[in-house]
A and B are shown apart, each in its own frame.
Chain A
Amino acid sequence: MTGYTSPRLPAYATIAAAGLVAGLALGRVEPIALAAPFLLALVAAAAERAPQVSVDASLDRERAIEGDEVTATIELSSADTVGRFELVPLLPPELSVDGATARAVHLPAGEKQTIELKLRCERWGVFTVGQVLFRARDILGFRSWEGGTGEPRPLRVFPAEETLRSLVAPLETQVFAGNQVSRARGEGIEFADLREWRSGDRLRRVNWRATALRGSLWVNEQNPERNTDVVLFLDTFAEVRAEGRSTNDRAVRAAATLAHLYLQRKDRVGLVGFGGFLSWLVPASGMRQLYAIIEALLTSQVVHSFALRGVDVLPPRTLPPKALVLAITPLLDSRTAAALLDLRARGYDLIVVEVSPLEMVAPRPGSSLDLAYRLWGLSREALRWQYEQVGVPVVTWREDVPLAVPLEEVNAFRHLARPA
């Protein structure tokens, strides 16, 4: 602890000393009477001693979802009475408290005080909570002792998920059982077609109605239910951030939502964080993979880099053949744009979800920035056209619409267009 004295104490000391000297020099009592209360205040201040305080902060849980409230409990105790004990918990800006964060209490000797803070998780991420700055003062504030204490405790805030009723079905499926109806023929539930009986066909597959009509044995064909590989391609080269909102925040929310829902369908899901800091997770299924993806997303951040980077730096197993690659990008960096076109050229089933930054930086009407803004919009339009030319659906996810809207647009695009 570091001790401080109030700036008014030296002033009081000066007034008291000047009063005493003036009293002696002038032979008058008034300056000495004037000095007396200030001397008394100095004596009172000098009598104060540094208190022995103990501060312990804890959280009611270590994991929360965006928008949740987490209760932080701070327990205070002191061996000596502290007239006024002020404390400020060190909180990241992503955790907010209603009203003032700093608190002040009276701390009697030997008594325990508990302060509860309701922390609202405004944004996803991994945070450290528990460190506290404090100041113990006498009640009149003549002297104070400041310090920091508390054990850092991790708090993981998972991104809030969007509500989605349907997902984008990949064009091709894998060989394992899943929930996606394959385009191939085989053992399954969904009826696909009729064909003439061949040696080896099972009797239960015979379609007796068709057989009776045509006079020869006909059997049903089914589409098997298979799983799919989905790779979430998160662009972390650049972001637009304004008023506490950012394109990367929304991209992470979308990726978490999609990972959760695809994994629920027994699909294998992988993750590629493509940016200044490259990260990947090989596609896998199950709850463990969901947590691995969420953990990777929590630490994903936009790191500015000038390195030229293509998809060839990724390990081959990260992008398995026939995988659906769902790119979530603000389309701000040309390296991502080139990498995505490269993926398409390699035959991947690619979908680009553009996290639109346009609304976040829209200039006021009549502003001189309007022209630049329109030109920027046109250049982004040209980039989208480039993707559409190679058969890649590009859907724009605006800030005020749910994620379901652009995904439905992808489904509509796929009904109308054939892949190149």
Chain B
Amino acid sequence: MTLALGAAAAYGGALADALVRAPSPAAAFLPGAVLGAVLLVAVLVFGRRGLGAALFLAGGTYVAAVVSAGSTVDASAPLVAVLLLLSGELSAWSVDERLDIRSEPRLLWRRGAALTALGLAGLAAAVLVAALSAVPSSHGLVWAVLGAAAALGAAGTGIWVARR
């Protein structure tokens, strides 16, 4: 129940961010958001498939809202990205926990730690992407190398987390 609520909260946060940034009328973005929310509820309540579609709709709504709002870069994009990833992971975890399996308590902590690490690494990667886009391309090779190294570092962190 806690995991499902967490997944719904993360999804709701991402949708709220999208709708807040949407230009008026914001209602034009509502159908996608509502459909995505319904799909997520179906996943969480009935364990049905459709998680990917729900995440896709939320992401699409956000991108549409940001693009329609104007040309300035939205600083909250990394947060929305991580919220969507967390929503997906928490939904999958919630469905997994419904299976009648007696598991060690430390497995919960390990998965929680791995998910936190994945979320932080994802946030770092998204922030890097957003930050690098703000750097003018005329700043030269050093920045490009730094960006590539950061991306590799983020990917390495993800691999390390997943292998633990």
Contacts and interface: CB of A to CB of B under 8 A. Distances in A.
Interface in A10-49: 10-12, 14-15, 18-19, 22, 26, 28-41, 43-45, 47-48
B155 A104 contact: no
Interface size class of A (residues with CB under 8 A): 35 or more
Interface of B: 49, 51-53, 55-56, 59-60, 62-63, 66-67, 73-74, 77-78, 80-82, 84-85, 88-89, 92-93, 96, 99-104, 106-107, 110-111, 114-115, 118-119, 121-123, 125-130, 133, 154-155, 157-159, 161-164
A33 B60 CA distance: 13
B73 A103 contact: no
Contacts of B93: 141
A91 B105 CA distance: 25
A12 B127 CA distance: 19
A249 interface: no
A371 interface: no
A83 B164 contact: yes
Interface of A: 6-8, 10-12, 14-15, 18-19, 22, 26, 28-41, 43-45, 47-48, 81, 83-84, 86, 99-100, 102-106, 138-142
A102 B55 contact: no
Given A37-B85, A40-B154, A83-B164, A15 B59 contact: yes
13 contacts: A8-B88, A11-B55, A26-B63, A34-B81, A36-B122, A36-B128, A36-B154, A37-B122, A37-B126, A100-B101, A100-B102, A106-B110, A142-B162
Contacts of A45: 162
Contact of B66 (A28, A35, A43): A28
Contacts of B106: 106
B52 A14 contact: yes
A44 B162 contact: yes
B104 A37 contact: no
A6 B96 CA distance: 11
Contacts, number: 173
Contacts of B121: 37, 40
Contacts of B103: 84, 86, 103-105
B125 A30 contact: no
Nearest to B65: A30
A43 B156 CA distance: 9
A102 B102 contact: yes
B164 A36 contact: no
B102 A99 contact: yes
Given A29-B133, A43-B159, A139-B164, A7 B125 contact: no
Nearest to A7: B49
A36 B102 contact: no
Given A7-B51, A141-B96, 4 more contacts: A37-B82, A41-B158, A139-B164, A141-B93
Given A8-B52, A38-B85, A40-B118, A29 B102 contact: no
Contact of B88 (A12, A39, A84, A86): A12
Nearest to A139: B114
Contacts of B126: 33-34, 36-37
A12 B80 CA distance: 15
A31 B78 CA distance: 10
Given A30-B74, A40-B122, A48-B162, A18 B110 contact: no
A28 B106 CA distance: 42
Contacts of A100: 100-102
Contacts of A12: 52, 88
Nearest to A18: B56
A30 B14 CA distance: 13
A139 to B, nearest CB: 5
Contacts of B128: 36
A48 B52 CA distance: 22
A313 B137 CA distance: 99
A8 B7 CA distance: 14
Contact of B100 (A36, A39, A47, A102): A102
10 smallest A-B Cβ distances: which pairs? A11-B52, A37-B122, A44-B162, A104-B103, A29-B133, A33-B77, A40-B158, A30-B77, A44-B158, A36-B125
Scoring A6, A41, A45 by chain B CB atoms within 10 A of each residue's CB, the highest score goes to A41
B130 A29 contact: yes
A357 B84 CA distance: 60
Nearest to A97: B102
